Structure 1
Amino acid sequence: MSEIFSRIEHSRTADEVVQQIESLILEGVLRVSDRLPGERELARQFDVSRPILREALKTLEERGLIVARHGGGTYVADMIGQVFTQPMRELIGSHPKACADYLEYRREIEGVAAEYAARRATADDLALLDRIMNRMTAAHERGDFDEEAQADVEFHHAIGECAHNIILLHTLRSCYRLLSDGVFQARMQVFNLPGAREELLAQHRAIHVAVAGGKPAEARKAAMDHITYVERSMAEVERTGNWQRVSRLRLRQRSEAGDGSRRSGTEK
């Protein structure tokens, strides 16, 4: 990890270290499962004694912000996963209305995030967004579905970060957690619809261009249009899946009925 921690300038107390790490987590610089540098390196970057650092890390662990793995380092704790517990994730994934409500919610909140991003994104934000967009495009061109899907989620994470609103950032991350956990299986099948991958790439480019161009209204519309498309596509996947299921059952039933008729005729 590059040096994201700053030298403690004044009192060099454990509280100063705690506040800096808390801020990095809150601002989304440190993310779930990010590993902190080792004790010696962290003490050097903060320019504090190791006893002070240990006291700070103990406080952060007691607050549930970091977790120490025996012999394996210290990591940012999984706090986002607690927004939707496992039973709730299972309920959401198994009820179509919950999926529809999820997309409705995302359409509105991502519209706001894209609008804010167009107003507030810094040069560094836009450089990161460029990098993700290039990665998505390259994955698309070489037909790497998994990489393209990962870049898709990372793109939406980055838009949330560009918005520079802490509550919006973590709310979006809790939403995207449902995607990374595979709660909405139909979403992954959207990529298999004819022309869908090309359309999705074009939509991400439209969001990117509007944000990079500092056009809030266009960014909001592009983000909302994207979720509307995903919503329609997921409904089509669901509908097509039902058609295939019924067709398969009909074929099986009629094949078995035909076999039965032929056997009856032979016996006569």
Structure 2
Amino acid sequence: MSSPIFARIQSSRTADDIVGQIETLILEGVLRVGDRLPGERDLSVQFDVSRPILRNALKLLETKGLLVTRHGGGTFVADVIGEVFSKPMMDLISSHRKAAADYLEYRREIESVAAEYAARRATEDDRLMLHRIMTAMEEAYKANDFKREAELDVELHNAIGECAHNIILLHTLRSCYRLLADDVFYNRTVIYGFPGAREKLLDQHKAIFAAIINSNPTAARAAVGQHIDFIEQAQSEAARSSAWQNVSRLRRNQRESERG
């Protein structure tokens, strides 16, 4: 971590004080899944507590399932979000087209709320974070870096969830975006390859970003709706194009077999 996020324990300097501070950081999304905590010596200095007290606190947090210690590798925030669905259920829903439609319907509603809240509540630090992500997204677009664009797509939506400053919404969205990052319901690579799609997606992300930066909740909601509408359209047209290609291939194979 580049700068300290842990505050000096002011009162009794007990393990419970440290536990409470780290729990809050995890709950508020400051500490994310997989984040590595500073080493024991640095952490004890930041908290201004003895190392035995710190070890006790970390042990308590590990017992609660909030931290994991890797032998020789340090202490990390545990996967407190977990999988949204079990593997059998994931396999089941990924093979049904209605699930993809339902997923986008769910995203439209929950992201609209997140964007509206973000437009109302984003702090100056939040705006700086969004600026950084948006700049990186524009650079990835110019460099034709599809993979980086896809990563920043997820990062931007996650960041908007953080700017909404609602704990339940934050963690619900993080679960939702795991499915997005894994391309469970649709293949973003196919959508990015659709004519003009990358430019349109960038413009839509810019519109959401601008509405939040300008503290316009109505525009933020509308921009999210347009974004999801476009994804639905692109996904549908990509599926139709794929079906056409399959039929064309079968026709060609049949004619070639007849000539043979």
Task: Determine if the TM-score, normalized by the shorter chain, exceeds 0.5.
Answer: yes
1:95 Cα deviation after fit: 1.4
1:157 aligns with 2:150: no
8 Å contact from structure 2 (residues 115, 160) kept in 1: yes
Query: Residue deviations 1:206-257, cap 9 Å, x none?
Result: 0011100000000011012101111111111111111111211111122112
* Residue number in structure 2 paired with 1:239: 240
Query: Residue deviations 1:166-202, cap 9 Å, x none?
Result: 0001111101001222313423310000000000000
8 Å contact from structure 2 (residues 146, 189) kept in 1: no
1:82 Cα deviation after fit: 3.0
* 3-state SS of paired residue (1:81): coil
* 3-state SS of paired residue (1:80): coil
* Residue number in structure 1 paired with 2:191: 190
1:54 Cα deviation after fit: 1.0
8 Å contact from structure 1 (residues 186, 237) kept in 2: no
* Residue number in structure 2 paired with 1:123: 124
Question: Percent identical across equivalent pairs?
Answer: 64
* Residue number in structure 1 paired with 2:103: 102
* Residue number in structure 2 paired with 1:34: 35
* Residue number in structure 1 paired with 2:142: 141
Gaps of 5+ in 2: none
Q: TM-score, normalised by structure 1?
A: 0.94
Residue 224 of structure 1 aligns with an amino acid whose one-letter code is G
User: How many pairs does the alignment contain?
Assistant: 259
* 3-state SS of paired residue (1:147): helix
User: Superposition RMSD on alpha carbons, in Å?
Assistant: 1.1
* Residue number in structure 2 paired with 1:114: 115
* Residue number in structure 2 paired with 1:7: 8
8 Å contact from structure 1 (residues 65, 77) kept in 2: yes
Alpha-carbon distance in 1 for matches of 2:90, 2:27: 24
* Residue number in structure 2 paired with 1:74: 75
1:25 aligns with 2:21: no
* Residue number in structure 2 paired with 1:207: 208
8 Å contact from structure 2 (residues 25, 31) kept in 1: yes
1:164 Cα deviation after fit: 0.3
Alpha-carbon distance in 2 for matches of 1:63, 1:85: 22
Alpha-carbon distance in 1 for matches of 2:89, 2:176: 13
Alpha-carbon distance in 2 for matches of 1:173, 1:46: 29
Gaps of 5+ in 1: 260-268
Alpha-carbon distance in 2 for matches of 1:240, 1:62: 52
Residue 120 of structure 1 aligns with an amino acid whose one-letter code is R
Q: TM-score, normalised by structure 2?
A: 0.97
* Residue number in structure 2 paired with 1:225: 226
Alpha-carbon distance in 1 for matches of 2:181, 2:211: 26
Alpha-carbon distance in 2 for matches of 1:56, 1:206: 44
* Residue number in structure 1 paired with 2:66: 65
8 Å contact from structure 1 (residues 30, 76) kept in 2: yes
Alpha-carbon distance in 2 for matches of 1:246, 1:24: 54
Alpha-carbon distance in 1 for matches of 2:5, 2:39: 14
